[in-house]
Amino acid sequence: MGIFDKAGSKRIASIMTEGVNSVVGEKSTFKGEFTTAGSIHINGEFEGKISVGGEVIVSSAARVMGEIEGNSVVISGRVDGNVTAKETLEITRSGRVNGDLTAQRINIEDGAIYHGRVSVQNGNAQPDQQQNS
């Protein structure tokens, strides 16, 4: 397993060009709270809360148990917890999410699996202010 996944490789390639500040390695486990103004690429296991100002990439071999918050989020692995992206949230065909999704734009590829609520927001609305029409 390298840095690039077959699933979601275009988006991951774009993010990698811009730079990833932190990596949780394939055979690594992280427990706790992770915060950065930059980006993170998760290849191993993460348990806790991720809060980043940049992008969050969860590769196909990765597993996250906890909450994810980022500017953009790409999920190719498994996430058990709520995911919030200020801009774009993408679940690739190998992605599995059990939790609520919140973002301005959400893309779920054919074959991806998720269980939870979905909230698509414009840049000004807060989740509790949104109304279904």
pLDDT tens digit sequence for 58-114? 999 999 999 999 999 999 999 999 999 999 999 999 999 999 999 999 999 999 999
Give the Cα separation of 27 and 61 in Å (integer): 10
Residue 36 in domain? yes
Structural domain contains residue 112:
yes
**Alpha-carbon gap, residue 19 to 85, rounded angstroms:** 18
Quick check: is 28 in a domain? yes
pLDDT, tens digit (0-9, with 9 covering 90-100), for 37-66: 999 999 999 999 999 999 999 999 999 999
d(CA 17, CA 95): 22
In a domain, 1, yes or no: no
Asked whether 67 and 81 are in contact (CB, 8 A), the reply is: yes
Mean pLDDT value across residues 110-125: 87
pTM for the structure as a whole:
0.78
* Cα–Cα dist 132/77, whole Å: 30
**Tally of domains within the chain:** 1
Q: What percent of the chain has pLDDT over 70?
A: 77
Give residue 130's pLDDT band: very low, low, confident or very high (50, 70, 90): very low
Parent domain of 34? 9-124
